[in-house]
A and B are shown apart, each in its own frame.
Chain A
Amino acid sequence: MNHKLTVIIIEDEKNICTFIETTLAAHDYKAVSAYSGKEGLSYITSLCPDIVLLDLGLPDIDGMDIIRKVREFSSVPILVISARIGESEKVQALDAGADDYITKPFGTSELLARIRTALRHSQMSANAPKSVEASYRSGDLTINFEKRLVTIADQEIHLTQIEYKLVSLLALNAGKVLTYDFIINHIWGPYADSNNQILRVNMAHIRRKMEENPADPKYISTEIGVGYRMREPDN
């Protein structure tokens, strides 16, 4: 197949753009850099990229505004590049419609994994918006969505209704971070108390049932102040 996936990088630091471009080109992506928000927005409309990498601190337009503007006309996956300190900024970007974030500085493998995950999810929802995968498998963990069955090393794990909903929601979005608000909205409905304590208690129960060592979890990782992320499924 000759068609290369197009990535637009919106980032005002030329060095970082060059590094990402080189990396992506080496992995068979077509990478285009935009050094300002305006330029980036025009590339997104003209090039119809498969994914957008967006730095939030741009000189001309606020990163949040770019996310909102893009979301008005496109559902292209947006991967936000952010600094370590500033959980609120990440949460805001995710709630504004970004698909995931990656913390500066990052390694090549991490960047590629995030891009693959985002692409996988966007293709999944584009090809078959209704039918979801029948199962999730990662390491010893298997989730059968039809039978609502969770097993670890073929041993059935007994989860409560809410716990199963939580695990399946995370598994369907595996590899992607889900914010507290997003999860609470999905499980407890839009009118639920926005206090995330109940969510974290439930996650603690799930960890105790699913993880060998709850303090060193294999399947569901925590991103404190932001949300939870389930491990990518094995292929």
Chain B
Amino acid sequence: MKHAKKRMDKKTLLRNILITSLILGFTTAGSFAFYNFTDNADNVAILYILAVVFTARFTTGYVPGIIASFFSVICVNYAFTYPYFSISFSLDGYPLTFAAMMIIASLTSMTTTHLKEKNRILNEQEKLLMEAEKEKMRANLLRAVSHDLRTPLTSIIGTSSTYLDSGPSFSEEEKCQMVQTIYDDSNWLLHMVENLLSVTRIRQADAHVTTSLEPLEEVISEAVSRLKKRLPEAKVKVSIPDDFIMVPMDATLIEQVIINLLENGIYHGNSDAPMELTASVSDGQAFFRIRDHGQGIREDLLPHIFDGYADTPTSSGDSRKGMGIGLSICKTIIMAHDGEIWAENLPEGAAFTFTLPLGDEPYES
């Protein structure tokens, strides 16, 4: 415990002194009141024991507890045992009382100090774990990014160089197909870059975003129209509440989340039925639910679906359809809004739901 004492700075010392004197002062005042009231001093010792326990609990180190018990013993001896207001060490059993109080004080101090120490270690360990987790996520994301970016780039560079090298030998139809591939892959690349850029809107310091009140319907409609611009054949059935609802958010980011989830459903659902996007409000939260009527999510992927590089080694190498970064960015964005996001399998198809807190004044008067 020597190093604990060494580390104890002036502030802790002052705090210890203050707490100890306050507790003892209150106890002494209480004891006098109690004594005057009942004319009985037998229970005063118990009050002091309580004071000692409290002192040991709320101060740092052993010293305050021991000082408190010392003071208590003297006090009880001096004021509350016969002969009153004089010190006498010849009372029957007095050494025993003294020893008992000392032991109680030391034990309590020891226990609480030990507990505090343990707590600190636990906290530190937790912090380290969280750091490691963050580091892991960052590494995963980076790996996913470089993988996901390289794939369309490889295709674009490969296709265009083939075209340039031996263009004349291809038929018009083949040429068209090649340019179409380049077009599709560049669009996919753009989508990815937009996703990555969106994350830069999240503040590094507290991992949150600057929000403003936005009408729910405008955000949804813009997201859907942006999706349709890129995927004209996409079918989305949208339904929103009749009320006009404003939700605090960063609209650009929430649009990105909606687009990612819709696109995820379109690519993975493998279904011709339209996607469904439903918004609702309950319990101070806005719920956005995006569901498809496709084949559902593989059960073993479900727990890790937002982890970034969810693709297991067994999944096909076709990363174009792996929404690796897309979904993990959705999670990052929703977390930055203090919302929640989850995925589930329904009897037919899968559903992604995310919530946004409505804040204090969701409704426009």
Contact = CB atoms under 8 A, between A and B. Distances in A.
B244 A85 contact: no
Contacts of B364: 197, 201
A153 B148 CA distance: 48
A215 B238 contact: yes
A208 B221 CA distance: 13
Contacts of B236: 216
Contacts of B218: 200, 203, 222, 224
Interface in B207-226: 213-215, 217-222, 224-225
A205 B220 CA distance: 16
Contacts of B323: none
Report, as a range, how many residues of chain A touch the other chain: 20 to 34
A215 B217 contact: yes
Most buried by A among B194, B218, B238, B246: B218
Given A204-B217, A221-B225, A222-B222, A213 B238 contact: yes
Contacts of A221: 221-222, 225
A85 B222 contact: no
B217 A85 contact: no
Interface in B244-270: 244, 246, 251-252, 255
Contacts of A84: 194, 197
Given A197-B364, A200-B215, A224-B214, A216 B221 contact: yes
Given A204-B244, A224-B222, A85 B238 contact: no
Contacts of B239: 213, 215
B221 A225 contact: no
Interface residues of B, number: 30
A213 B240 CA distance: 9
Most buried by B among A208, A222, A223: A222
Interface string B182-210: 00000000100010011011000000000
Given A200-B215, A204-B215, A224-B251, A217 B194 contact: no
B240 A87 contact: no
A207 B217 contact: yes
Most B Cβ at <10 Å: residue of A85, A87, A223: A85
A190 interface: no
A194 to B, nearest CB: 13
A59 interface: no
Instruction: Report which residue of B197, B200, B215, B364 has the largest number of chain A beta carbons within 10 angstroms of its beta carbon.
Output: B215
Contacts of A205: 244
Contacts of B213: 197
Among A200, A215, A222, the one with the most B-chain Cβ atoms within 10 Å of its Cβ is: A215
A189 interface: no
Nearest to B186: A105
Interface string A17-51: 00000000000000000000000000000000000
A214 interface: yes
Nearest to B225: A221
Contacts of A224: 214, 218-219, 222, 251-252, 255
29 contacts: A85-B198, A85-B201, A85-B252, A87-B252, A197-B213, A197-B246, A197-B364, A200-B218, A201-B364, A204-B215, A204-B244, A207-B217, A213-B238, A213-B239, A214-B217, A215-B217, A215-B220, A215-B279, A216-B225, A216-B238, A217-B221, A221-B221, A222-B218, A222-B221, A224-B222, A224-B252, A224-B255, A225-B251, A225-B252
- In the complex, the 6 A-B pairs of residues with the closest C-beta atoms, listed nearest first: A215-B238, A222-B218, A215-B240, A224-B251, A204-B244, A216-B238
Interface of B: 190, 194, 197-198, 200-201, 213-215, 217-222, 224-225, 236, 238-240, 242, 244, 246, 251-252, 255, 277, 279, 364
